[in-house]
Amino acid sequence: MADEPGMLLFSYGTLQIEGVQLSSFGRLLVGESDALPFHRTDMVEITDPEVLRVRGERFHPVVVPSDTGQPYG
């Protein structure tokens, strides 16, 4: 079992916060920098009380396809 590959996860925004990782996955994630070409960041308002408690901020970054076709990352 130790030789099985791990699962890959593209993490940005709130998933890079230790408290969110611990509450979502039960552990801290280990990773490296990456990019998501032809996408851009935007913001979304969060109203879920539990997410607000863990994150502590009302607006969260999201990644959406880029209208301009410019690479993101």
pLDDT tens profile 5-35: 677 887 777 788 898 899 889 999 888 888 8
- What CA–CA distance (Å, rounded) separates 57 from 44? 11
C-alpha neighbours within 13 Å on the C-beta side of residue 29: 21
Collapsed DSSP state (helix, strand, coil) of residue 43: strand
Helix, strand, coil % over all residues of the chain, rounded to 5:
25, 20, 55
- What CA–CA distance (Å, rounded) separates 57 from 52? 6
Residues facing residue 42 across a β-bridge: 62
Top pLDDT among 37 and 68 is at 37
- What CA–CA distance (Å, rounded) separates 58 from 73? 24
**Residue 60 in this model has a pLDDT that exceeds 70:** yes
